[in-house]
Amino acid sequence: MAYKNYCLVCGGTGCNANTGEEIYHELIKKAKELGVENDVQIVKTGCFGFCEKGPIVKILPEEAFYVHVKPSDAEELIKEHIIKGRIVERLHYSEDGQDVQERGKIDDMRFYQKQYRIVLRNCGFINPEDIEEYIGREGYQGLAKALTEMTPDQIIEELKISGLRGRGGAGFPTWMKWNFTKQAQSDVKYIVCNADEGDPGAYMDRSTIEGDPHSVIEAMTIGAKAIGASQGFVYIRAEYPLAIHRLEVAMKQAHEYGLLGKDILGTGFDFEIEIRLGAGAFVCGEETALIASIEGERGIPKPRPPFPAVKGLWGKPTLINNVETYANIPMIILKGGNWFASVGTEKSKGTKVFALTGKIKNSGLVEVPMGTTLREIIYDVGGGIKNGKKFKAVQTGGPSGGVLTADKLDTPIDFDNLVSAGSMMGSGGMIVMNEDDCIVDIVRFYLDFSVDESCGKCSPCRIGGRKLLNILDKIVDGKGEMSDIDKIKEISTAMRRSSLCALGQTTPNPVLSIINLFWEELLAHIKDKKCPAGKCKKLLSFSIVRDTCIGCGVCAKKCPANAIIPENCEPLPGKKKPPYFIDINKCVKCGECLTACKFKSVVKL
């Protein structure tokens, strides 16, 4: 027998700390006392994210949303809501100025609109290997509309109204790219999907293809009609086997249903897609390098112009968009550009998917309307920093992006705001750091990545990146000098000005952001030879406090380098054994002793 009501009590850390646990037990107690324990199941759930209003109690099926609930409210909730079926207005959530009638369901609440799924609309709902489920959720309806009711110009006009900008990072207006390719005169044109997702920490393109491969196929077919292409390529990296598999299955099914191939939907329109596997080179995400790679050449960029829209794959006009950009398009065509433009900010429309990772509680994929603030993403959707640590910074835009500090948390994110704040949107990786992270060390990691991924064609990128890395290595090793900062600036300027593609031009970005934002911490490394976060090994030393060491030797057993030995002396007064000490010359600074010592006698200096 199912219950009449389900009562969900938020069991997140915030609500729990704020009498959530008591409310839960009180509700169970009252339900029993009032004899309705068989009518309602009382459940403790994961965090609702709306911690500001907590503790929260939600009662289904009415979807009543009670905020700031106190244990003493339990009786009223049971008596009024469960027994009499009346909403307890006093506790029910309402937005500013809203009257009682308008208090709607969760879907209408502004807070829950912090996430709004356009790109990820089908991820987590449909079976990606069943085309009918995609069709059941409005799939291929946009294509049908584009093929039967719209001219190429109308399709492009709809994109223009929507204000969609390329989600690959640069934010170029999508309609313009489509229009350039459409206007280019050629017998053959190509359409390409860039699924070469290479930013450390970013995985939304992979997840989109894994969860909803048909949305990309549908969008590419719409694009083909708009620009007049009959052949498309999906360039995807070989290390995404599941995404490749799902895409292959989806393409096969689309063929069977006549939604891909010859005479699509009986309209006489032909379009084919092929998959091209990339070997996982970061630079191949750059469009000219990607084109070279599809052509079977080495994936190195070419100077632009000519842009691919004019002279791309095999010299023919080629339209290249990112996975996320494409995934928006079927809905724009189906629901209209105005619908899409109603979401987002003035200059950045729609939503953006972020891969929220790092020291965050709810890491995962987050899709929010443009204009949501970093604070809302990190604290409301992401649940805040793990283990009660302090927020230090958030890295956005991958290795080409920058770092944003706490004072930028209230920046509404969109393409332009992030750039003026000193970072960029990039493809949407968002890595949250806490006080334990050393910014110099992290930037060194990004730089190492960019240097590794440089294709080597142009010297500013190849040599400049390596030189910057050498300087940062020096700094984390405690050999940094003040003159290094001028060198960093000089090399960075040269790289920005003269590198061939965005990879080289943006490699110095993270390095420059430490000079701008974390000057004190950088100085500590260079001048004081100290790492404030305690991460840079060469700048650390471990020591045992003689007075508190009881001589148990646990640390010595854990030490992999046998660097900890007992002192050759009598036990100190009040102790049974002589204290231990660390031989600095043998110590490898792994920190095992620090975690092993129960008496906090090992300290990091």
SS3 70: coil
Which residues contact residue 326 at a Cβ distance below 8 angstroms, ignoring those fewer than 6 apart? 193, 215, 216, 219, 220, 223
| Interface pick for other proteins out of 33, 153, 248, 256 (rule CB under 8 A) | 256
Which of the ranges 5-13, 152-160, 479-487, 532-540 carries the binding residues for other proteins, by CB under 8 A?
Answer: 5-13
Which of the ranges 122-130, 400-408, 410-418, 509-517 carries the binding residues for other proteins, by CB under 8 A?
Answer: 122-130
Nearer to other proteins, 258 or 456 (CB): 258
Which secondary-structure segment (H or E) carries 328? helix 323-335
CA–CA gap between residue 341 and residue 337 (Å, rounded): 6
Which of the ranges 58-66, 228-236, 488-496, 519-527 carries the binding residues for other proteins, by CB under 8 A?
Answer: 58-66
CA–CA gap between residue 278 and residue 291 (Å, rounded): 11
Per CB under 8 A, contacts with other proteins among 519-558 are none
Instruction: State the nearest-atom distance from the C-beta of 209 to other proteins, in Å.
Output: 9
Instruction: State the nearest-atom distance from the C-beta of 561 to other proteins, in Å.
Output: 34
CA–CA gap between residue 168 and residue 56 (Å, rounded): 38
CA distances from 543 to 563, 580, 597 (A): 11, 10, 12
Instruction: State the nearest-atom distance from the C-beta of 264 to other proteins, in Å.
Output: 9
CA–CA gap between residue 305 and residue 312 (Å, rounded): 10
Instruction: State the nearest-atom distance from the C-beta of 553 to other proteins, in Å.
Output: 38
Among all chains, which residue has been given the structure tokens 């709902």? 125
The CB density around residue 525, as the number of other CB atoms within 10 Å, is: 26
Per CB under 8 A, contacts with other proteins among 303-332 are 331
Nearer to other proteins, 350 or 579 (CB): 350
Check if the beta carbon of residue 509 is closer than 8 Å to that of residue 401. yes
Q: Is 113 in the site for other proteins (CB under 8 A)?
A: yes
Nearer to other proteins, 73 or 212 (CB): 212
Q: Is 277 in the site for other proteins (CB under 8 A)?
A: no
| Interface pick for other proteins out of 14, 20, 49, 401 (rule CB under 8 A) | 49
| Interface pick for other proteins out of 39, 133, 157, 473 (rule CB under 8 A) | 133
Instruction: State the nearest-atom distance from the C-beta of 398 to other proteins, in Å.
Output: 18
Q: Residue 278, class by beta-carbon neighbours within 10 Å (0-12 exposed, 13-18 middle, 19+ buried)?
A: buried
Q: Distance between the two ends of the chain, CA-based, in angstroms?
A: 63
Q: Is 166 in the site for other proteins (CB under 8 A)?
A: no
| Interface pick for other proteins out of 114, 177, 359, 525 (rule CB under 8 A) | 114
CA–CA gap between residue 499 and residue 461 (Å, rounded): 6
Instruction: State the nearest-atom distance from the C-beta of 55 to other proteins, in Å.
Output: 13
Q: Is 66 in the site for other proteins (CB under 8 A)?
A: no
Check if the beta carbon of residue 24 is closer than 8 Å to that of residue 9. yes
CA–CA gap between residue 311 and residue 300 (Å, rounded): 16
Q: Is 13 in the site for other proteins (CB under 8 A)?
A: no
User: Which 3-state string (H, E, C) describes 555-585?
Assistant: HHHHCCCCCEEECCCCCCCCCCCCCEEECCC
CA–CA gap between residue 100 and residue 92 (Å, rounded): 9
Per CB under 8 A, contacts with other proteins among 139-158 are 139-141, 144, 148
Amino acid letter for position 472:
L
Evaluate the omega torsion of the peptide bond into residue 532 and state whether it is cis, within 30 degrees of 0. no
| Interface pick for other proteins out of 23, 91, 93, 115 (rule CB under 8 A) | 115
Which of the ranges 105-113, 154-162, 175-183, 184-192 carries the binding residues for other proteins, by CB under 8 A?
Answer: 105-113
Check if the beta carbon of residue 129 is closer than 8 Å to that of residue 322. no
Total of residues contacting other proteins (CB under 8 A) = 74
Per CB under 8 A, contacts with other proteins among 370-409 are 381
Instruction: State the nearest-atom distance from the C-beta of 295 to other proteins, in Å.
Output: 29
Q: Is 61 in the site for other proteins (CB under 8 A)?
A: yes
Q: Is 364 in the site for other proteins (CB under 8 A)?
A: yes
Instruction: State the nearest-atom distance from the C-beta of 350 to other proteins, in Å.
Output: 11
Q: Is 8 in the site for other proteins (CB under 8 A)?
A: yes
| Interface pick for other proteins out of 23, 47, 247, 587 (rule CB under 8 A) | 47
Among all chains, which residue has been given the structure tokens 């409301």? 380
Per CB under 8 A, contacts with other proteins among 412-471 are none
Nearer to other proteins, 322 or 513 (CB): 322
Q: Is 123 in the site for other proteins (CB under 8 A)?
A: yes
Which residues contact residue 37 at a Cβ distance below 8 angstroms, ignoring those fewer than 6 apart? 28, 31
Q: Is 342 in the site for other proteins (CB under 8 A)?
A: no
Q: Is 205 in the site for other proteins (CB under 8 A)?
A: no
Instruction: State the nearest-atom distance from the C-beta of 190 to other proteins, in Å.
Output: 25
Q: Is 500 in the site for other proteins (CB under 8 A)?
A: no
| Interface pick for other proteins out of 16, 174, 194, 207 (rule CB under 8 A) | 207
CA distances from 578 to 543, 547, 569 (A): 15, 10, 6
Q: Is 597 in the site for other proteins (CB under 8 A)?
A: no
Q: Is 559 in the site for other proteins (CB under 8 A)?
A: no
Check if the beta carbon of residue 348 is closer than 8 Å to that of residue 416. yes
Strand positions, DSSP E, 197-287 = 231-237, 261-264, 269-278
Instruction: State the nearest-atom distance from the C-beta of 392 to other proteins, in Å.
Output: 19
Q: Is 366 in the site for other proteins (CB under 8 A)?
A: yes
| Interface pick for other proteins out of 266, 305, 560, 573 (rule CB under 8 A) | 266
Instruction: State the nearest-atom distance from the C-beta of 490 to other proteins, in Å.
Output: 41
CA distances from 84 to 31, 63, 78, 79, 101 (A): 13, 16, 9, 7, 19
DSSP string of 352-391, one letter each residue: EEEEEEESBSS-EEEEEETT-BHHIIIIIIS-SBGGGPPE
Per CB under 8 A, contacts with other proteins among 216-255 are 240, 242-243, 246
Instruction: State the nearest-atom distance from the C-beta of 384 to other proteins, in Å.
Output: 13
How far, in whole angstroms, is CA 319 from its chain's centroid? 26
Q: Is 198 in the site for other proteins (CB under 8 A)?
A: no
| Interface pick for other proteins out of 64, 74, 126, 164 (rule CB under 8 A) | 126
Nearer to other proteins, 59 or 468 (CB): 59
